[in-house]
């Protein structure tokens, strides 16, 4: 049976569901197809098996860790503390479920039709929805436009295939009710270090292995070094500049062989968590038949999220880096507004914040020091350490710093790089400042509330201007 839609969105993650809601708001007849399978239901990976449950577990971990290491100091002395990962997982699942239902409610409210099944394109650019259960009927959605938002899935190395038992990915890690004694986390991007943080807080012996020279290697190197120091203090083992070579999966215990400039090392472990990246889902979607080009694994798009096939758009993890939920959501809005011819504004890809929710938190936006120099700027850097910062001290978490990279000529804020308590919340100021082309002067001139972590951003601006008060 065929019904005509203005837009069919394939995938109901943060890219897809936001695109669908926006399209419906703009008066377009919209349907959103969700395969509801392994990687997520409404809300996609983010709500179900990614951002949301991970942050919930991180909160549990922060509580556990603070209580453990600083409870007495705070005047809350822990006695007979029981760590119950299963309860922590339950809590995270409950939050996911609540938010998933929320997306369903938003769809109803805005008149977006949910279609459950596996969506794919035909040569005529219709969307065929195949049932995920055997015995169901396929449905054809005749539509003027398609937005592909199929996201990405966990990636691994040959020899390290995920078996869900001895070698797991983030999906299983978010439901690890029974904790191993020892865990090796392979890959120290945000996903890897976040899980390392969680499991270490709950008493697991954690080793983090990373091929590049620092933890969180895509961030400012000082951030990775600060994080490594913090992790080591908590008893985690860190192996940077180290590649995984082989895994003796069936031995008891498992042995992971790694190699670094120091030579080979054999690490005994009970579980391996692969956090080496995600790959976009482009298979089985009929992209080739529909004329949608794929480049470097991603669906190729222009600044309005259009693909090479007329009337087909792509947003989110499947459409390119950075693979971040907020980037996907904003692309969803661009695509919907472009389809509706509602004054779309291309996303500013040079101003997307990157945040890690491990403790201490990490947040950055804009250019790094070397990038700024390479772009021809006369670079000025100001770093404000949090060691003596009022709010950080009262919080009991005063590791880290706020670093601003600026152009010396006009004080233009080129980049902000932070590690410390709650810095995930501070990067928004930097983002809006950069969007409005504010300079150091404006940030320094605003009387940020005292005492707050946000104040530290102001202090960093003052440091960059050479007139810091508090350092």
Partner 1 sequence: MATKVVMAQLSPTMEEGKLIEWKISEGDAVSQGDIVAEIETDKANMDVEAMGAGVLRKIVVQAGATVPVGTLIGIIAEPDEDIESLLSEAAAGPVAGAAEEPADAPVAPSDGPEAPTATDEPAEVAEEPASAAPSAETEPEAEGERVRASPVARKMAAEKGIELGAIAGSGPGGRIVKADIEAAIAAPAAASLATATGGTTAGAIVAEPAAEPLLRDERVEASQMRKAIARRLAESIGPVPHFYLTIEVDMERALDMRSELNARADGFKIGVNDILLKTAAEALVRHPQVNASWDEDAIQFHGRVDLGIAVAVDGGLITPVLRDADRKGLRRISLESADLIERARARKLLPEEYQGATFSLSNLGMFGIDEFTAVINPPEAAILAVGMTQEKPVVEEGELTVRRRMRVTMSCDHRVVDGAIGSAFLATFKEMLENPLAMVL
Site string for partner 1, 246-265 (x = CB under 8 A): --------------------
Instruction: Give the DSSP per-residue string, 75-120.
Output: T----S----HHHHHHHHHHHHHHHHHHHHHHHHHHTPEEEESEEE
Cα–Cα distance measured from residue 5 to residue 339, given in angstroms and rounded to the nearest whole number: 12
- Asked if 302 interacts with partner 1 (CB under 8 A), we say no
Is the CB of 308 or the CB of 351 nearer to partner 1? 351
Cα–Cα distance measured from residue 353 to residue 287, given in angstroms and rounded to the nearest whole number: 30
Window 396-415: residues binding partner 1 (CB under 8 A): 409-412
| 202: three-class secondary structure by DSSP | coil
- Select the residue interacting with partner 1 from 64, 168, 405, 444 (CB under 8 A): 444
Q: Near partner 1 by CB under 8 A, which window of 41-49, 120-128, 202-210, 437-445?
A: 437-445
| In the complex, minimum distance from the CB of residue 405 to partner 1, in angstroms, rounded to a whole number | 15
Beta bridge partners of 416: 365, 404
- Select the residue interacting with partner 1 from 439, 456, 457, 464 (CB under 8 A): 439
Number of residues that bind partner 1 (CB under 8 A): 13
Residues 6+ apart with CB under 8 A from 137: 131
> How much of the chain is in helix, strand and coil states, percent to nearest 5?
35, 25, 40
- Asked if 94 interacts with partner 1 (CB under 8 A), we say no
Among candidates 420, 312, 424, which has minimal Cα distance to 55?
A: 424
- Asked if 445 interacts with partner 1 (CB under 8 A), we say yes
- Asked if 367 interacts with partner 1 (CB under 8 A), we say no
Is the CB of 388 or the CB of 435 nearer to partner 1? 435
Q: Please identify which of the residues 377, 446, 450, 470 carries the catalytic annotation.
A: 450
**How distant, in Å, are the alpha carbons of 156, 178, 233, 353 from that of 326?**
24, 32, 33, 9
Residue 450 annotated to the active site: yes
| In the complex, minimum distance from the CB of residue 320 to partner 1, in angstroms, rounded to a whole number | 24
- Asked if 375 interacts with partner 1 (CB under 8 A), we say no
Q: Near partner 1 by CB under 8 A, which window of 215-223, 279-287, 311-319, 440-448?
A: 440-448
Q: Near partner 1 by CB under 8 A, which window of 5-13, 227-235, 318-326, 431-439?
A: 431-439
Match 């710093």 to its residue by tokens.
401
| In the complex, minimum distance from the CB of residue 458 to partner 1, in angstroms, rounded to a whole number | 12
Give me 36's structure tokens.
């509801």
- Asked if 350 interacts with partner 1 (CB under 8 A), we say no
Q: What angle do CA 10, 100, 144 make, to 5 degrees?
A: 20
- Asked if 438 interacts with partner 1 (CB under 8 A), we say yes
Give me 400's structure tokens.
């880290």
Cα–Cα distance measured from residue 206 to residue 183, given in angstroms and rounded to the nearest whole number: 5
Active site positions, annotated: 450
Q: Which residues bind partner 1 (CB under 8 A)?
A: 409-412, 436-439, 441-442, 444-445, 467
């Amino acid at each position: 049976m065929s019904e005509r839609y203005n837009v069919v969105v394939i995938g109901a993650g943060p890219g897809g569901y936001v695109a669908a809601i926006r399209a419906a708001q703009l008066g377009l007849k919209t349907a959103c197809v969700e395969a509801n399978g392994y990687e997520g239901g409404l809300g996609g990976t983010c709500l179900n098996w990614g951002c949301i449950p991970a942050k919930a577990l991180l909160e549990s971990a922060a509580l556990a860790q603070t209580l453990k290491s600083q409870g007495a100091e705070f005047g809350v002395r822990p006695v007979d503390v029981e760590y119950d990962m299963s309860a922590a997982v339950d809590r995270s699942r409950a939050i996911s479920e609540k938010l998933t239902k929320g997306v369903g409610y938003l769809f109803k409210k805005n008149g977006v039709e949910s279609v459950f099944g596996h969506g794919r394109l035909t040569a005529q650019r219709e969307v065929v929805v195949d049932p995920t259960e055997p015995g169901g009927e396929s449905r054809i959605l005749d539509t003027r436009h398609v937005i592909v938002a199929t996201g990405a899935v966990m990636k691994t190395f040959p020899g390290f295939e995920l078996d869900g038992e001895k070698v797991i990915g983030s999906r299983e890690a978010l439901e690890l009710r029974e904790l191993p004694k020892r865990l090796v986390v392979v890959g120290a991007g945000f996903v890897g270090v976040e899980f390392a943080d969680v499991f270490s807080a709950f008493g697991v012996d954690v080793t983090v292995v990373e091929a590049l020279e620092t933890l969180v290697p895509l961030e400012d190197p000082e951030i990775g070094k600060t994080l490594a120091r913090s992790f080591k203090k908590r008893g985690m083992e860190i192996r940077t500049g180290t590649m995984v070579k082989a895994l003796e999966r069936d031995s008891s215990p498992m042995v992971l062989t790694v190699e670094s400039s120091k030579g080979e090392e054999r690490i005994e472990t009970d579980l391996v968590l692969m956090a080496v990246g995600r790959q976009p889902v482009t298979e089985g979607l009929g992209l080739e038949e529909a004329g949608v080009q794929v480049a470097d694994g991603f669906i190729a798009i222009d600044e309005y999220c259009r693909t090479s096939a007329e009337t087909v758009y792509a947003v989110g993890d499947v459409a390119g880096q950075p693979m971040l939920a907020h980037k996907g959501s904003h692309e969803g809005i661009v695509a919907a507004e472009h389809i509706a011819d509602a004054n779309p504004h291309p996303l500013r890809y040079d101003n997307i914040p990157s945040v890690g929710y491990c403790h201490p938190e990490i947040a950055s936006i804009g250019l790094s020091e070397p990038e700024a120099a390479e772009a021809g700027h006369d670079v000025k850097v100001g770093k404000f350490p949090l060691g003596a910062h009022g709010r950080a001290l009262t919080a009991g978490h005063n590791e880290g710093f706020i670093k601003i990279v600026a152009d010396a000529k006009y004080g233009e804020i080129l980049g902000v790089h932070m590690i410390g308590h709650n810095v995930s919340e501070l990067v928004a100021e930097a983002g809006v400042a950069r969007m409005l082309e504010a300079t150091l002067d404006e940030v320094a001139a605003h009387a940020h509330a005292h005492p707050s972590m946000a104040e530290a951003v102001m202090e960093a601006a003052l440091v960059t201007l050479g007139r810091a008060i508090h350092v």
